[in-house]
Structure 1
């Protein structure tokens, strides 16, 4: 069951302090609407734009909460450059990733930034377009030193349910 409600200014301030880098999106907002899709997915609609999601992701060590920018935000606001590590994948990996596959090490062309196991990573194609957001399954050094296997769990990608929901919310 979907629940929708607006946050008070006090709640917006608390949330902006709790979400790290994405806090500036909330601090500058005139209104923030919460769209709770289910227990695992919440979308934050900031000034009528779906920009951020809170996801409960099952990992090997249990369930972990991630607060991520939605991919639609990169297309709404191309000037926004988040401060996340970026993984660039080859053209052969793109169709698999946008269909929900996790990222395998052989498909990676470039690794930028520092990260540890469980950190959020942005995944882009060779043309620089963001195609997915994932969670690293290893540290940057481990990823650079391995040649095979699954290295990133994809948690949001182009054309997934979150992408479609965000596009619908933009039209409203």
Structure 2
């Protein structure tokens, strides 16, 4: 059951204050439509563009809520680019990640920025294209010092359900 509705200006202001890094995206919006797919996934259309999602993700033994930019966000030339930490993966890792696999340490070529366990990371290929968004399973220092194992849980990637929904919503406008 999909629920769609528009936020009032007051709700947009409250949301922009609550989403931290992504606040400027909402502050400059003329309208924000909420597209609730289910109890764990909500997509926000900012001025008719699917730019942000709220996801409830199982991390370790609990559930955490994340508000993330959609990958379409980086391809729509928005006026504001959030400054999340990034990892760059090698060409061998890309097909696995875009098929939903988590990121393994041997596939990482570069780690940029500092982050803690559970922080949102952007995942890029060697050409600098954003291919996925994930949640760190360790700190930046731990990730730099390890050479094996799963290090990032992927929560959104090119070709997943949210990506496909965003493409459909863009075509519908």
TM-score, structure 1 normalization: 0.98
Whether 1:147 and 2:147 are equivalent positions in the alignment is yes
2:38 is paired with a residue of what secondary structure?
Answer: coil
Q: Which moved more, 1:56-65 or 1:110-119?
A: 56-65
How large is the Cα RMSD of the aligned pairs?
0.9
Confirm or deny: 8 A CA contact 1:22 1:69 kept in the other structure: yes
**Mapping 1:20-169, distance limit 5 Å:** 20-77=20-77, 80-169=80-169
* Deviation of the 1:9 alpha carbon: 0.5
Q: Which runs of 5+ in 2 are unaligned?
A: none
Task: Tell me, in whole angstroms, the C-alpha distance in 2 between the residues paired with 1:28 and 1:2.
Answer: 26
Distance 2:59 2:111 in 1: 22
Tell whether the 8 Å contact from 1:5 to 1:33 is kept in structure 2 after alignment: yes
Contact 2:117 2:137 in 1 (8 A): yes
Partner Cα distance (1:4, 1:90) in 2: 39
Inter-partner Cα distance in structure 1 for 2:9 and 2:89: 40
Q: Give secondary structure in 2 for the equivalent of 1:37.
A: strand
List structure 1 runs of 4+ shifted beyond 6 angstroms.
none
Q: Distance in 1 between matches of 2:81 and 2:164?
A: 22
Would the aligned equivalents of 1:74 and 1:80 in 2 still touch at CA under 8 Å? no
Distance across 2 between alignment mates of 1:96 and 1:109: 15
Give the whole-Å Cα distance in 1 for the aligned partners of 2:19 and 2:78: 21
User: How far does the alpha carbon of each residue in 1:82-136 deviate from its partner, in whole angstroms, 9 at most, with x for none?
Assistant: 2100000000000000000000000000000000000000000000000000000
Structure 1: tracts of 5 or more residues without a match: none
